[in-house]
Amino acid sequence: METTLRGVGVSHGVAVGQVRHMGTAALEPPAKQVPADEAPKEQARARRAVDAVAADLVARGNLAGGEAQAVLEAQALMAQDPELLADVERRIAVGSTAERAVYDALSAYRSLLAGAGEYLAGRVADLDDVRNRIVARLLGVPMPGVPDSDEPYVLIARDLAPADTALLDPSLVLGFVTEEGGPTSHSAILARAMGVPAVVALAGATELAEGVEIAVDGSSGEVFVEPGAELRARLAAEAEARRAALAGATGPGATSDGHRMPLLANIGGPADVAAAVEAGAEGVGLFRTEFLFLEDSGRAPSVETQVAAYREVLEAFPRGRVVVRVLDAGADKPLDFLTPGDEPNPALGVRGLRSLLKHPEVLRDQLRALAQASAGLPVHLEVMAPMVADRADARAFAEACREAGLAAKFGVMVEVPSAALRARSILQEVGFLSLGTNDLAQYTFAADRQVGALSRLQNPWHPALLDLVAMSAEAAAADSKSCGVCGEAASDPLLACVLTGLGVTSLSMGAAAIPYVRAALAKHTLAQCERAAAAARATDSAEEARRAAQAVLSGE
């Protein structure tokens, strides 16, 4: 019998196929004592297992590249955390086996995070995966994971660890549905990068029967169980119309009446460049530089290492625009040499520009490397700082850029509500704004972006968030400066039209979303986008805002 379930759509497209569940297993080892004289041997076993798992995660990241590489390297650092390893060795010293000590130590840390209001719930899922991988290696059992199948299927899981998502085979995995997770979780971001339809935060997803056929709409968040012939025909027609629209929309981003809207790519490093170029990206709107710093959390990479990586990206976009975000460390991306390890609420602590201003030598070296990397190239380099709260922050960053001899334009990210509220003041110090809608939503609604239960408050359609976008865009326009969006909001084709109507000057997204956004803009005039934006802002909820904008743009 055909039924409809609704979660949160996080990756465009429709997938129809049979359900296959992610493999699970109880990996809790037995609690038994070992003699004291065997403790050194058990401690050595634990260290070898930890190192092997970390190496495997790094290897998976190298294979996957791009966004996945940065995520998996961060997870490898988690596995090798010195404090966790010290706790494991303490437990072994008092009689635990290596596997039981690992299980108990990481479970205790997990409980600590969950007990803090699940503020770091996204990292809890990653921590569970690290624990299971180390314990499985110590027990000598296979790691539960993606099911073995010769036929394409739709993958169902409570949640997907980055290590699993990163290496999904798109020829077999038609799409995936998770019971947990949020629109900006690691799995959602990686799904968009892969171009695999995905729905997260679907209550009861794991109760779907193995083998039952479902249709997954990654745009609307709907999951249809046992879809009938009529629904199948409708979904097929919509998919065909979407393909035709994608094929017909080429060239630079623009509305149907010729209003230019540059479509840029979000990248995590040189490995993402090829996909961005293939998608027709007009440049890079967000170059996340963390991937270089995550390779060794104990120290910053040399200026020479940075120059080589930056130049590889800059050379790929001759005469294009490349916006580089300086190191955004802290919160879920801690670095031993830079970020405090004892903050009760890291996302509200010393992260982003705050970390760099406490360690000016790290910022200075990165800015120097960017200056050297861009020397002699016709690229339009722009450099921006994350987590800017006010004019004083903006001034400090601008001064650092000048002192480093950086000829590029410099700007700031608007991720904190105060930056949107005081955008005109901030623009007295810098040349552009870039809205990071993921964090802006998190801080506006006091809702952790990694917690699926709070997905209602992480929705970029919320009118309060649209108000902050409009406020920032208006401030930039008044000063004849640019204001782009580089958060995940830009990857929603309908919302991209609304953002255009709000006055933003560029949209940056994962490469896979660029054709969808280009096609959506090409169907509407600037005036229609402006009316849709006004209609969305006149509502009181994200759902109402989306419906209002859809009504305007569909001519209802």
Query: Could you give the residue numbers annotated as active site?
Result: 186, 486
- Mapped onto helix, strand or coil, the DSSP state of residue 451 is coil
CB-facing half-sphere around the CA of 29: CA atoms within 13 A: 25
Q: Determine contact, residues 450/332, Cβ cutoff 8 Å.
A: yes
Residue 213 β-bridge partners:
18
What type of residue is 126? Answer: D
- Mapped onto helix, strand or coil, the DSSP state of residue 413 is strand
Q: What is the DSSP string of 31-56?
A: --B--GGGHHHHHHHHHHHHHHHHHH
Q: Which two tokens stand for residue 439?
A: 């964090």
- Mapped onto helix, strand or coil, the DSSP state of residue 326 is coil
Rounded Cα gap, residues 94 and 115, in angstroms: 26
Residue 324 β-bridge partners:
287, 383
Rounded Cα gap, residues 386 and 11, in angstroms: 25
How many residues would you count in the chain?
A: 556
Instruction: Give the residue carrying structure tokens 């995590």.
Output: 268
Among 274, 284, 269, 411, smallest CA distance to 353 is for 411
Rounded Cα gap, residues 481 and 430, in angstroms: 9
The single-letter DSSP state of residue 408 is: S
Element (H, E) at 424: helix 423-426
Instruction: Give the residue carrying structure tokens 């997803």.
Output: 205
Q: Which two tokens stand for residue 492?
A: 């929603």
Q: Beta strand 482-485 with 432-435: parallel, antiparallel or unpaired? A: parallel
CB atoms within 10 A of CB 100: 23
CB atoms within 10 A of CB 326: 25
The single-letter DSSP state of residue 260 is: B
Q: Please give the radius of gyration of the chain, using alpha carbons only, rounded to the nearest integer.
A: 24
What are the b/e assignments for 19-52, b being 16+ CB within 10 Å? bbbbeeeebebeeeebeeeebeebbebbeebbee
- Mapped onto helix, strand or coil, the DSSP state of residue 151 is coil
Residues 6+ apart with CB under 8 A from 536: 461, 463, 466, 498, 545, 546, 548, 549
Q: Euclidean distance between the first and final Cα of the chain, in Å?
A: 32
